[in-house]
């Protein structure tokens, strides 16, 4: 049986949207090193096609257009990169249901925007552009500070409200 008091405490921790307060939670402090190790190790090891295909993105495009274009690719990379293990329990309620990948602090478009804005501008003599390879890789690296959690559908919907 699920301990409801413990469940509500976990959900309230996950629902926090203040980055400073969120980073001090025991959940984040306990898991940060594990996430960082996993992400750095897996980025070196994996050869994701979407990460290795470098598309020149015009740096004068509006940020909204770039986010709308690249959100689908970011979703695919997130799904592929952060695979969920079969039988893994929801980190809130502990039930072994179908799990989803929940962005806990910032959602996908916010992380994508941050990665695009941090991308260095490349001047190849003809035009200035940014590298999709660089900002998609940075998008994955941002999940060290803004992790993804395996949550059941009900818990995921609760923290997204």
Q: Digits of tens for pLDDT over the chain (161 positions)?
A: 455 556 555 556 555 556 677 677 676 777 777 778 888 888 877 665 555 556 677 767 788 888 887 888 888 888 888 887 777 888 777 888 888 888 877 788 888 999 988 888 777 766 777 788 888 888 888 888 888 878 888 888 877 77
- pTM (2 d.p.): 0.74
41 CB neighbour count, 10 Å cutoff: 10
Q: Residue 63 and residue 130: Cα distance in Å, rounded?
A: 12
């Amino acid at each position: 049986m699920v301990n409801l008091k413990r469940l509500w405490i976990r959900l309230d921790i996950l629902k926090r949207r203040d980055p400073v307060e969120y980073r001090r939670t025991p959940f984040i402090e306990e898991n940060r090193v594990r996430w960082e190790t996993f992400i750095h190790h897996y980025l070196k090891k994996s050869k994701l096609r979407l990460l290795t295909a470098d598309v020149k993105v015009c740096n004068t495009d509006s940020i909204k257009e770039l986010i709308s274009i690249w959100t689908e690719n970011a979703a695919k990379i997130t799904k592929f990169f952060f695979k969920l293990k079969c039988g893994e329990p929801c980190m809130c309620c502990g039930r072994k249901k179908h799990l989803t990948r929940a962005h806990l602090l910032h959602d996908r478009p916010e992380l994508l925007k941050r990665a695009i804005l941090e991308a260095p501008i490349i001047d190849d003599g003809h035009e200035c552009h940014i590298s999709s390879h660089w900002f998609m890789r940075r998008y994955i690296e941002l999940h060290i500070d803004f992790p993804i959690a395996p949550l059941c559908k009900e818990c995921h919907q609760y923290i997204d409200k």
